[in-house]
Amino acid sequence: MIVSTTAGFEALIIDGQRVAASDGGTFEVYDPSTGDVLATVAKATKADVRRAVQSARAALESKAWAGITPAERGRLLFRMAQAIRDRAEELSTLESRDNGKPLRQARADVQVAARYFEFFAGIADKIMGNTIPLGPGFLDYTIREPIGVSAQIIPWNYPIQIGARGVAPALAAGCTVVLKPAEDAPMTALRLGEIALTCGLPPGVLNVVPGMGPEAGAALASDPDINQLTFTGSVEVGTLVAKMAAVNIVPVVMELGGKSPNIVFADADLELAVQGVANAIFQNAGQTCSAGSRLLVERQVHDAVLARLVSKAKSMRVGPGGSDPDMGPIISKRQLETIEGYVKIGAVEGARIAVGGSRPEDPSLSRGFYYSPTLLDDVAPQMRVAQEEIFGPVLAIISFDELDEAADLANRSQYGLVAGIWTRDINKALSLAARIKAGQVYINTYGAGGGVELPFGGYKKSGYGREKGLEALASYTQLKNVCVKFA
């Protein structure tokens, strides 16, 4: 059934049409700042996902998509970047309501999303191959062809940013996409699908199928007609979807989060370091795959750093995303309870709650899912709060005495996504950067404001494959070698 725009109802986007779910099913999306219902969203069934994949398959081979020049593909993506910028305020407000994040964070996310389309628009006509010298009588060349239908399953923490991160390079490479947003925050991913249509992308090039993980997500990951899968989320679900894709020999990009350390030496600019450390854990209420959720601090500055962090945490205003606070709510009651559970575990393990460790007392916040900025001090490296991803505004603080110990602590994790190093000593910084097992290392900075240009991905259980930057294209292309013998 094709539906028209109704306030409060969000349809699936399949083959260029806004459609209800095949069984009419819906689910409700909540504003985590208030607990109020934000929208009712069509809940994609297995059959809907199947249809979306078929539509993406047809679009992949179509004249309207496969038949246009790479330059024209680039122009369509530039148009998407512009449309996102034109609608920035509307998209930011929606992202803030859907996820709960502070408005200025949502605004930054929307700009980063536009930047992804711009960055990959510019590369659409520069995806080149090589010629390989075989000697007289031979011409050998390689071509990077689109890998095909890209399935993308994204989380709720940065929907428009992570949506754009996967969709833009896939489209630039000439792929078509079926995007499955997270059930907790699907709104701006749906807007991306609409924007694609208003910008003139052919029907089926970008399909958006919100739904439940075990139903729509599993149907997508196991569909025999996808050619590639990009997943961002938990290790647990990543393992499941990788197995589903493996049955069809479908390659996967896995972005599974981490327990990323910020390593602060006594010789660092402490003001700068503390600002970086606080931002890395409290941004998005700690619900960030690359959150700096461990602080490794040289013992002689431990007290000084802790005092500054405590005063920062105490001064942060926690409140509804729309009021643009320093920190918004947690995405859901379930996630809030997970965080509370971890802080209890930490206390039982012997960590000391230096600040926070509870929901805020402000009664005006009682309907939302808020948690106070929390610092766990005296954490030992083997504790669960030092090892497991909490995905909330909770920093685990561990002291060290020398560089070798810092390197060992940094790597004593099943994860390896990002690390931050804070020191004025270039030798220390570079020798530690060389030893750290993580996909990105930052020195005297952290996160680089979106880092659209910088290859991003995990070592160890943080995942594999690289998104962002030119490296991302490797996932969305496949290489063909053509060997010619001539007389």
Can you give the binding site for ligand NAI, defined by CB under 6 A? 153-157, 180, 182-183, 213-214, 217-218, 221, 232-234, 237, 240-241, 255-257, 289, 338, 389, 391
- What is the smallest separation between the CB atom of 437 and ligand NAI, expressed in angstroms? 18
> Closest Cα partner for 71 from 119, 145, 114, 126?
126
Report the candidate in 197, 241, 249, 193 with the shortest Cα–Cα distance to residue 221.
Answer: 241
Verify whether residue 255 is a known catalytic residue. yes
Q: Could you tell me the smallest distance in angstroms from the CB atom of residue 186 to ligand NAI?
A: 9
What is the spatial distance between Cα 165 and Cα 88, in angstroms, rounded to a whole number?
17
CB of 202 to ligand NAI, least distance (A): 25
Kindly tell me which of 74 and 373 has the beta carbon lying closer to ligand NAI.
Answer: 373
Whole-number Å distance between alpha carbons of 247 and 268: 50
Q: How far is the CB of 435 from ligand NAI (least distance, A)?
A: 24
User: Among positive and negative, which fits the CA dihedral 332, 338, 344, 346?
Assistant: negative
Torsion angle of C-alpha atoms 298, 300, 302, 304, degrees rounded to 10 = -130
> Among residues 110 and 274, whose Cβ is nearest to ligand NAI?
110
CA dihedral (222, 223, 228, 234) positive or negative: negative
| Residue 57 or 461 having the CB closest to ligand NAI | 461
From the candidates 289, 298, 389, 467, which is the catalytic residue? 289
- Whole-angstrom distance, CA of residue 191 vs CA of residue 410: 39
Residue 26 or 338 having the CB closest to ligand NAI: 338
Whole-Å CA distances, 18 to 87, 138, 448: 20, 52, 37
Q: What gap in Å lies between CA 77 and CA 117, rounded to an integer?
A: 6
Question: How many beta carbons lie within 10 A of that of residue 333, not counting itself?
Answer: 13
- In this structure, what token pair is assigned to residue 310? 């405590």
Sign of CA dihedral 240, 243, 247, 249: positive
For ligand NAI, give the closer residue by CB, 185 or 305. Answer: 185
428 neighbors 265 (Cβ within 8 angstroms): yes
CA–CA separation, 176 vs 179, rounded Å?
10
Of the residues 118, 255, 389, 467, only one is catalytic, namely 255
> 195 with 167: CB under 8 angstroms?
no
289 is catalytic: yes
Least gap, CB of 161 to ligand NAI (angstroms): 10
CA–CA separation, 359 vs 431, rounded Å? 41
Nearest to 263 by CA among 121, 116, 113, 419: 419
- CB of 151: closest distance to ligand NAI in angstroms? 10
Q: Mapping DSSP to helix (H, G, I), strand (E, B) and coil, where does residue 236 land?
A: helix
Nearer to ligand NAI, 91 or 291 (CB): 291
Judged by CB, which is closer to ligand NAI: 221, or 280? 221
- Residue 17, H or E segment: strand 17-19
Query: Residues with catalytic annotation?
Result: 255, 289
